[in-house]
Amino acid sequence: MDLGPSDKVKPILKEVKSFIDNEILPLEREYFDEVDKGDRWQYTERQTEILETLKEKARSKNLWNFFLTHWEGGYGLNTVEYAYVAEETGRSHLAPEVFNCSAPDTGNMEVLARYCTEEQKEKWLVPLLNGEIRSAYAMTEPGVASSDARNISMSCVLDGDEWVLNGEKIWISGAGDPRCKIMIVMCNTNPSGPRHSQHSQILVPFETPGVKNIRPMTIMNIDDAPHGHMHMRFTDVRVPKENMILGEGRGFEVAQGRLGPGRIHHCMRAIGAGEVAIELMCKRGMDPNKVAFGKNLAQLGANFDYIAESRIELNAARFLTLDAAVKMDTVGNKIAASEIAQIKVYAPNVALKIIDRAIQIHGGEGVSQYTPLASMYAHMRTLRLADGPDEVHRRAVARYELGKYMS
């Protein structure tokens, strides 16, 4: 089994890497410096100029919508090939959006492409594929343990030709973005039904009356403006009956179709972030201006071991993730469920450990705004919770292993 990049994706990777290094990274600091100018939840003129110019350049080079694998309207990459692209984009906070491959839009576009009507695709998928709008995915709730998705309790009741939604959601990524126009919402349409048939997923336009952002959530005091992660309230929100995705009671089927590929994307971007951390660690360790006790920082303490362990662990995470991607391509997401769960635990934990080591070798500067490491740490620590916490995925792996010995 060859886990290396295919001949097809090699030239694409070369172009993506060059574009990130030469076009995106030189503008990234300026882009984020703009956040504190005026209203944090609106894009400044300069931010819009930077983002839209980069997107236009990327699209003109056909570096666009890589993520839609196994779909006739996609770029034509398989899951393994896209995994390599996702790793490259993990080196930059802006890169996923510049290539129109950022969460939660990617997962939402996959749902729209696979499960929605032609009319819904025209209304929502086409502008998302064109990078004209953004979207959100509303699943997690404040009043229940959302790690068990069967607990999702947002009420969704059919009234004539409309579904009426009531309840609250938290950690709704992208809902702070003024360009967010559509949400996919997981709700409970049959509270007394079988546990795995109670839930449904439904399209809710963001500007529907009754939809309200209560407040932005912070990640270690970072609000991620203007993208944001919102606490939201839905009060008598009415949407047409036909906005139900795939059919009432099929919410888990839609969720698994959405979250499986997304976990590969997250993990490979985490590996890309790990590569950035190793690079920063090594450069700091060999910086001739950073000498202590007559030695470069790399030669002090256990830093040789930390650098070596970081490379070994990151390579292991990469191959484990690529192995899961191969199985997704060959036997499908359902049979690859254990491998997907394994990488969702392993890759973020490895990347987090490496980022922490890089912070340590930078000293106080490592937790300051002068390096990207503090922000990287906060977001990587969050990834251990996003799309299901470590414990849920470990449980899935253990159940799979134990199942081999049950009669």
**Residue 146 in tokens:** 């959302």
How many angstroms separate the CA atoms of 185 and 187, rounded?
Answer: 6
Q: Which CATH number describes the domain made up of 10-116?
A: 1.10.540.10
**Is residue 369 packed enough to be buried (19+ CB in 10 Å), middle (13-18) or exposed (0-12)?**
exposed
- Provide the pLDDT for residue 298: 92
> How many Cα atoms sit within 13 Å of 169 on the Cβ side?
30
How many angstroms separate the CA atoms of 135 and 54, rounded?
Answer: 20
Task: Tell me the whole-structure pTM to 2 decimals.
Answer: 0.92
Q: At what angle do helices 251-285 and 105-115 cross, to 10 degrees?
A: 150
- Check whether 312 has a pLDDT greater than 90: yes
Which amino acid is residue 335, in one-letter code?
Answer: I
- Provide the pLDDT for residue 73: 66
How many angstroms separate the CA atoms of 268 and 333, rounded?
Answer: 17
Question: 11, 13, 37, 82: which is closest to 225 by C-alpha?
Answer: 37
pLDDT tens per residue across span 276-308: 999 999 999 999 999 999 999 999 999 999 999
Burial profile 338-351: b = 16 or more Cβ within 10 angstroms, e = fewer? bbbbbbbbbbbbbb
- Check whether 360 has a pLDDT greater than 80: yes
Q: Model confidence at 333, in pLDDT bands (50, 70, 90)?
A: confident
For 71-93, what is the mean pLDDT? 89
**Residue 358 in tokens:** 């890089």
For 235-247, what is the mean pLDDT? 97
pLDDT more than 70, % of the chain: 98
* DSSP of 102-142: -TTHHHHHHHHHHHS-HHHIIIIIHHHHTTS-EEEEE---S
For 189-212, what is the mean pLDDT? 94
Fold topology of 252-403 = Butyryl-CoA Dehydrogenase, subunit A; domain 3 (1.20.140)
**SS3 helix, strand, coil % of the chain, rounded to 5?**
50, 15, 30
- Provide the pLDDT for residue 149: 84
Q: Model confidence at 169, in pLDDT bands (50, 70, 90)?
A: very high
How many angstroms separate the CA atoms of 90 and 234, rounded?
Answer: 33
How many angstroms separate the CA atoms of 69 and 354, rounded?
Answer: 30
374, 366 in Cβ contact below 8 A?
A: yes
Determine how many CB atoms are found less than 10 A away from the CB of residue 180: 23
Q: Model confidence at 255, in pLDDT bands (50, 70, 90)?
A: confident
Name the one residue in this structure whose structure tokens are 């409309």: 162
Q: Does domain 135-244 have CATH number 2.40.110.10?
A: yes
Distant-in-sequence, close-in-space partners of 22: CB < 8 Å, separation ≥ 6: none
Domain-wise residue ranges, the chain: 10-116, 135-244, 252-403
Determine how many CB atoms are found less than 10 A away from the CB of residue 36: 9
- Check whether 175 has a pLDDT greater than 90: yes
